[in-house]
Amino acid sequence: MWFDWQPKPRILLIQLEPLCSVGEYCIVQSDSMPEGMISSGLLKKTHSVLILCSGTTTGRVYAMMNFNRIDKNEIDQMPYAIAFEGNEPLQSGLLIQHANYNGRTTPLPRDFYEYIAASGTYPLKEMPSQRKGKFTELNIGSQEEAFRLLVTKLSSEFPENKD
């Protein structure tokens, strides 16, 4: 596992909020993602994205986008996070490459492509059954571990101003 620091995202918090409000999670298709967040190459390989947004007592917002990417015969989670101070992102986004937490990869189900063609998404066990909900209701270990890893790394690299 390694942390891959990305260029400053070209997205404001107000562009993300229509998809996923602070304190919530949601599942979207990759073509719903605002431009400038992550490379278009990664988005082309992605069939769904779980977004989590959580605020802190100092006003910082951490937003994770966990991209479900098809990699040969597996579905691989590619967690990416941005921290916002007010409406502006911090100077770097953070992508985890080849994370080692449980549930990061799922074997590609036999009916995957047919299901995607018919519905647009696939109900993976590492994804919530509802498309949207409260952050506190999400109880999926791999998603929570990805978020924890990203927030820990971002907050150590860019400490919150506690004034």
Residue 97 domain-assigned (yes or no): yes
Residue 163 domain-assigned (yes or no): no
- Total number of domains constituting the chain: 1
Residue 70 domain-assigned (yes or no): yes
Burial 56-83 (b: 16+ CB within 10 A, else e): eeeebbbbbbbbbbeeeeebbbbbbbbb
Provide the pLDDT for residue 36: 74
Residue 93 domain-assigned (yes or no): yes
Provide the pLDDT for residue 162: 66
- Joined tokens for residue 148: 């924890």
Judged against a pLDDT cut of 90, whether residue 63 lies above it is answered with: yes
Which domain does 71 fall in, by range?
2-155
- What is the rounded average pLDDT of the residues 13-27? 93
DSSP-derived letter for residue 19 is: T
Residue 163's pLDDT band (boundaries 50, 70, 90)?
low
- What is the rounded average pLDDT of the residues 56-65? 93
Would you say 49 and 30 are in contact if contact means Cβ atoms under 8 Å apart? yes
Indicate the pTM of the whole model: 0.86
Tens-digit pLDDT profile for residues 132-154: 999 888 888 889 999 999 999 99
Residue 160 domain-assigned (yes or no): no
Judged against a pLDDT cut of 80, whether residue 23 lies above it is answered with: yes
Residue 162 domain-assigned (yes or no): no
